[in-house]
Amino acid sequence: NGGDDEKPIFGKVPNDPRITRFGRILRRTSLDEIPQLLNVLKGDMSIVGPRPPIPYEVNDYDLKHRKRLDMKPGMTGLWQVSGRNRMTFDEMVRADLYYIENWSLWFDLKIIMLTLPAVFRGDGAH
């Protein structure tokens, strides 16, 4: 998983029959991410940061992938505003590492400002 350039980032199934019509709307508009605000308030997450890892995938991470675990995960991040549904796992990791290496308050504000139009366009998970 971690080193395979051809596989998508996450295992979300297109047209998943378990997702209701309302659920598809929540996913497309990223409103399904709102519960993560509780994690931000608890201090476990940040508004902006690398995508939280899927626990079972962490075992497959190689050394460069693990570097993204050095920073608190975020609700949004560089990969989410850079074509999240079209990026491979390695592209997502590269975006996260670029963010970590170039972090600044201004970079966070830029990502937040780019996130809002992505949400309103419905660029969430499909």
Give the tens place of pLDDT for each residue, 8-36.
444 556 677 888 888 888 877 777 778 88
The confidence score (pLDDT) of residue 90 equals: 86
Residue 10 placed within a domain = no
What domain range is 64 assigned to? 21-121
Pick the range with the lowest mean pLDDT from 25-34, 51-60, 68-77: 25-34
Residue 94 placed within a domain = yes
DSSP class per residue in the chain: -TT-TTSBSS-PPTT-TTS-HHHHHHHHTTGGGTTHHHHHHHTS-EEESSPPPPHHHHTT--HHHHGGGGS--EEE-TGGGTTGGG-BHHHHHHHHHHHHHT--HHHHHHHHHHHHHHHHHT-S--
Whether residue 119 is predicted with pLDDT greater than 60 in this model: the reply is: yes
Residue 86 placed within a domain = yes
Instruction: Output the average pLDDT for the chain.
Output: 82
Residue 11 placed within a domain = no
The confidence score (pLDDT) of residue 17 equals: 81
